[in-house]
Chain A
Amino acid sequence: MTSLALKTLIYEWRRFLPAVLAVGFACLLQLLQIAFVLGIFSSASVYITGSTAQLWIGYPGTQSVNVGRPVHEELRSRLAMDPQVQRVEPFLWLDADWRSARGGASVIVSGIDERPNGLMFAHVLPAELRAQLTVPDTVIVDRADLSKLGVNVGEWATINGERVRIIGVTQGLRALGGVNVVASLQTARHLDAGGSTSIGPTYFVAQLRGPDNAEAVARRLCCQASFGPYEVWTAKAFARRSELYWLLDTGAGAGVMFLAVIVFAAGAAISSQALMAAVGGSLREYATLNALGVGIASLRWVVLEQALWVGAAGLLGAAALGGALLLLARSQDVPVVLDIWVTLLCMGVALGVAVVSGLAAVQSLRRADPATLLR
């Protein structure tokens, strides 16, 4: 069957362009907003997602990895005794003060096991670079943070008044609310001005022999009072917990929702106006078809089909432009996260805007009264 909707859309594309742009930009804004917000908050869990540990053991009730409190050192032996646990490592987290010749900053020092098979930051630290941390008072930072720290590789700075040297840079270490500085456990303890690490590390992380049963092992290991207060989480659950904490606790989640509603409404308003104008421009032709016996229901479907094509075109444009912008963001070390759910959500937004606009435009068909053609 001749697709009146599609043929009209192609032939009179200038008339429909505002609607396509409105849907496209609504989709693009939503996509970028969510990708950036998720990207930013995913950096809250970079300690977890950048590591190969399957279990995290920390102070009970810890809502996010950045608000951990020390656990007892004796816990290590309890964890290591479990037959399913292959390796246990301490992880130190310190808030610290960075000073260099060209400025100062608030930093987060991560004290990690610097041995080649270490679990912490295994995904972001190349083995060769990691090995260099064995030299006392050396640190590694994200290359994107160098300017913020006011140093170059090989130069010296002070953390909490202690001298450290930047021995290398890596990617994927950017933090939320500070700058991540990675050091060996020994260096981190040395930099601990407050002495909080004297009780024990902030976390223990563990690698299991069979990674598939992490949840069962976590339940089994959890919460024996004789080793002091502690809780065990799987890496996945702890990462999610940390990201949700940031998303909800900072009000960013509500901000995202608010902006989503605004973008949707603005997109639908602009798009529906353009579609209504397009229907208005063809009112005489629609009335003629109705006179010939083509039912109003069929004509409504033509308008709705047109709206869906507008949605599809907008979606295509948004996908192309959004993809390019996200690639550009990644190349500039801007954290972005785009998963299947975000993509589906944005597709839903585009089609939602298109359908709402189409339904509004359908109302214009009421004026397509064939009797008005006779005068």
Chain B
Amino acid sequence: MTSAATPTYPLRALNVSKSFLVGRIRTQVLTDLSLDVEAGRLTLIAGPSGCGKSTLLAILSGLLRVEAGAVQALGKDLAELSRHELERFRLSHTGFIFQEFGLFPALTALEQVELPLHYLGMSRASARVRAEQSLEEVGMATRSRLRPSELSGGEKQRVAIARAIAKEPALLFADEPTSALDAANGALVIDLLHRIARSHGTTVLCVSHDPRVISHADRVFQMEDGRILESHPRPPTPILKGHTA
């Protein structure tokens, strides 16, 4: 489903198909799927469990290769990039937020955020400044010296967000970012993602079945059985409730 309102899109899926072989049975996960994601917006992919939304996120972010069709990210065809080039592309342009945070137990919040910046080639001093700014932005400046074991779930996710945005990526991918959080922290995280899209112009693509995310999203793609069923700028709540997993 393409929106014709914006001529160029930072992220596009064109007739994408993907299947997985489980044992001797091949399961089709995505079927001839197309979508365009707009810049500077919080876009949500919603749908029931097993509908293929996480696979779609993995393909759009360059973590998985397509079988058929193409993915264009920031004007590049991801299928044409080698594994090393894809890693480089992700390092320079994409941020990730996962359901289970992925923080190293040994590092403080500040070090977690600094780590990818070092691999980006930033100097120690610049990385420190940038990491502090990111932590400040997610409201974790005062907790920056603490390790994950000393942080709550919501705080850990905010550190993970700071780590993802510190690189100032053009694309930010989030997979069920609120699933492991209570209501208050979930709301805080959604608000952060929305603000990041608005204030940084970041293209935020989120996979979730959390109704709170749906109500904050600028655009929602509703998925089922590996296809996009419909897309709305603001979806009517009753329909969405029927599709939560």
Measured CB to CB, the residues of A under 8 A from B are 1-2, 4, 7-8, 10-12, 282, 284-285, 287-296, 298, 370-371, 373-375
Residues of B within 8 A of A375 (CB): 54, 99, 175
The one of B91, B98, B118 that contacts A293, using a Cβ cutoff of 8 Å = B91
Measured CB to CB, the residues of B under 8 A from A are 54-55, 57-58, 61, 63-64, 84, 87-92, 94-96, 98-100, 102-107, 111, 114-116, 118-120, 124, 147, 163-164, 167, 175, 207
State how many angstroms separate the Cβ of B3 from the closest Cβ of chain A.
25
Which 6 pairs of residues, A with B, have the shortest CB-CB distance?
Answer: A293-B91, A288-B102, A11-B106, A293-B90, A374-B54, A8-B106
CA distance A296 to B84 in the complex (A): 9
Are A373 and B64 in contact (CB-based, < 8 A)? Answer: no
The one of A7, A293, A373, A374 that contacts B111, using a Cβ cutoff of 8 Å = A7
Most chain B CB inside 10 Å of its own CB: which residue of A8, A10, A290, A373: A373
Are B175 and A374 in contact (CB-based, < 8 A)? Answer: yes
- The chain B residue sitting closest to A370, CB to CB, is B63
20 A-B contact pairs sorted by A residue (CB < 8 Å):
A2-B115, A8-B104, A284-B100, A288-B98, A288-B102, A291-B61, A291-B102, A292-B95, A292-B96, A292-B164, A292-B167, A293-B92, A293-B116, A295-B84, A295-B119, A296-B87, A370-B63, A371-B64, A374-B63, A374-B175
CA distance A76 to B148 in the complex (A): 84
Residues of B within 8 A of A11 (CB): 105-106, 147
- The chain B residue sitting closest to A282, CB to CB, is B104
Are B124 and A285 in contact (CB-based, < 8 A)? Answer: no
State how many angstroms separate the Cβ of A197 from the closest Cβ of chain B.
74
Residues of B within 8 A of A287 (CB): 102
Residues of A within 8 A of B91 (CB): 292-295
Residues of B within 8 A of A371 (CB): 58, 63-64
Residues of B within 8 A of A293 (CB): 87-92, 94, 116, 119-120
Q: A288-B98, A295-B119 are in contact. List 13 more A-B contacts (CB 8 A).
A: A2-B111, A7-B106, A11-B105, A11-B147, A12-B105, A292-B116, A293-B120, A298-B119, A373-B175, A374-B55, A375-B54, A375-B99, A375-B175
State how many angstroms separate the Cβ of A331 from the closest Cβ of chain B.
42
Most chain A CB inside 10 Å of its own CB: which residue of B63, B100, B163: B63
Are B89 and A4 in contact (CB-based, < 8 A)? Answer: no
Residues of A within 8 A of B100 (CB): 284, 373
Residues of A within 8 A of B96 (CB): 288, 291-292, 370
State how many angstroms separate the Cβ of B48 from the closest Cβ of chain A.
14
CA distance A296 to B175 in the complex (A): 22
State how many angstroms separate the Cβ of A2 from the closest Cβ of chain B.
5
CA distance A289 to B90 in the complex (A): 10
Q: Do A2 and B102 form a contact, CB below 8 Å, given A7-B111, A293-B88, A293-B91? A: no
State how many angstroms separate the Cβ of A5 from the closest Cβ of chain B.
10
State how many angstroms separate the Cβ of B232 from the closest Cβ of chain A.
24
Residues of A within 8 A of B114 (CB): 2
Residues of A within 8 A of B54 (CB): 374-375
- The chain A residue sitting closest to B55, CB to CB, is A374
CA distance A29 to B118 in the complex (A): 40
Residues of B within 8 A of A2 (CB): 107, 111, 114-115, 118
State how many angstroms separate the Cβ of B34 from the closest Cβ of chain A.
20
Residues of A within 8 A of B99 (CB): 375
Are A292 and B163 in contact (CB-based, < 8 A)? Answer: yes
CA distance A325 to B104 in the complex (A): 39
CA distance A11 to B94 in the complex (A): 29
CA distance A12 to B104 in the complex (A): 11
- The chain A residue sitting closest to B98, CB to CB, is A373
State how many angstroms separate the Cβ of A136 from the closest Cβ of chain B.
76
CA distance A258 to B167 in the complex (A): 54
Are B115 and A289 in contact (CB-based, < 8 A)? Answer: yes
Are A294 and B119 in contact (CB-based, < 8 A)? Answer: yes
Are A10 and B115 in contact (CB-based, < 8 A)? Answer: no
Are A291 and B104 in contact (CB-based, < 8 A)? Answer: no
Are A7 and B107 in contact (CB-based, < 8 A)? Answer: yes
CA distance A63 to B116 in the complex (A): 65
Are B107 and A4 in contact (CB-based, < 8 A)? Answer: yes
Residues of B within 8 A of A294 (CB): 87, 91, 115-116, 119
Residues of B within 8 A of A290 (CB): 87
- The chain B residue sitting closest to A7, CB to CB, is B106
Residues of A within 8 A of B92 (CB): 293
Most chain B CB inside 10 Å of its own CB: which residue of A4, A287, A288: A288
Are B58 and A374 in contact (CB-based, < 8 A)? Answer: yes
